[in-house]
Amino acid sequence: MTAFGIRLPAMSSLLIWGLLWEIVGQLDLTFFVPPLSQVFATLFEIIGTPVFVKALTETAYAFVMGVFFAIVIGIPVGILMGKSRIVDELLLPWVNIFVSAPLTALVPVLMVLFGFGLTSIIITTTLFAIWIIILNARAGVRQINRSLVEMARSFGATPLDAFTKIYFWAALPEILGGVRIGVIRAVKGVIIGQLLISIVGFGALFELYASNFLMGHFWAVLIILFALAFSISEFLGYLERKVAYYAAKR
């Protein structure tokens, strides 16, 4: 973006929105929007507190585990679907249903099945993230150059070799794209899971702040979450660009 012929750093438009927020807050129009400066003051205030650290570690744990399962299950399943007609026909309808299903509605069922704890939240997170990862890995494998596979076979590759040395790498640009979208969905999943279960992590924190009308606290936590989700997504975008050099030339 440029203004008056000067190149502005990325995302400087955020400053304008921040300023607008501050003004609305200072005008004291609604308790719902405290001034941004106050939100940031609260943010630094709570960021080291044990309650916050506990919520963050619980959330991070559920998030990391959920994403981990989504990746280690999703990528091989997607690759298998891309390779094998039978597996594909068996699983594709389900994947297509779940990738667009309103998964939030499933969370209460999960709570009944797996209890009101971390397990349910981890499973929710995985469920939010896994489908798009599967679909992308599948798409990545389906566009693979057949002669690469034949080349590997002609030099005596075992099926496992083909999997780890050809399919995975050939599909990597698509896989990373899927993981990036999956991770963004996982952020949703972990927060929605916690909100519905609301006795662990940020769910508990939100419950606490909302019922006590601590809007500054509420926004502060939200900003932290947004910033975290954004950084993760940017990091994965960076990885994706690192493999882009061969994405166009397979």
Residues 134-163 that bind another protein (CB under 8 A): 145, 147-148, 150-157, 161
Please choose, out of 38-46, 54-62, 108-116, 240-248, the segment that lies near another protein by the rule CB under 8 A. Answer: 240-248
Give the nearer residue to another protein in terms of CB position, either 31 or 155: 155
Please give the radius of gyration of the chain, using alpha carbons only, rounded to the nearest integer: 22
At 130, the amino acid letter reads I
Give the nearer residue to another protein in terms of CB position, either 54 or 153: 153
Closest distance of CB 191 from another protein, Å = 35
Separation in Å, CA 81 to CA 16, 192, 202: 47, 29, 36
**Phi, psi for residue 6 in degrees, rounded to 5:** -105, 135
Contact (Cβ atoms closer than 8 angstroms) between residue 191 and residue 225: yes
Contact (Cβ atoms closer than 8 angstroms) between residue 59 and residue 201: yes
- CA 170/CA 149 separation, integer angstroms: 10
Give the nearer residue to another protein in terms of CB position, either 22 or 174: 174
239 binds another protein (CB under 8 A): no
Closest distance of CB 33 from another protein, Å = 49
Closest distance of CB 246 from another protein, Å = 4
Apex CA 174: angle with CA 185 and CA 81, to 5°?
90
Neighbours of 224 (CB within 10 A): 16
Closest distance of CB 142 from another protein, Å = 17
Give the nearer residue to another protein in terms of CB position, either 230 or 246: 246
Judged by DSSP in three states, 10 sits in coil
With CB under 8 A as the rule, give the number of residues binding another protein: 21
Neighbours of 89 (CB within 10 A): 10
Closest distance of CB 3 from another protein, Å = 38
Closest distance of CB 157 from another protein, Å = 5
Residues 156-195 that bind another protein (CB under 8 A): 156-157, 161, 165-166, 169, 172
Residue keyed to tokens 């921040």: 18
Give the nearer residue to another protein in terms of CB position, either 33 or 139: 139
Give the nearer residue to another protein in terms of CB position, either 147 or 211: 147
Q: Identify the CA nearest to 74 among candidates 129, 143, 118, 144.
A: 129
Residues engaged in binding another protein (CB under 8 A) = 145, 147-148, 150-157, 161, 165-166, 169, 172, 243, 245-246, 249-250
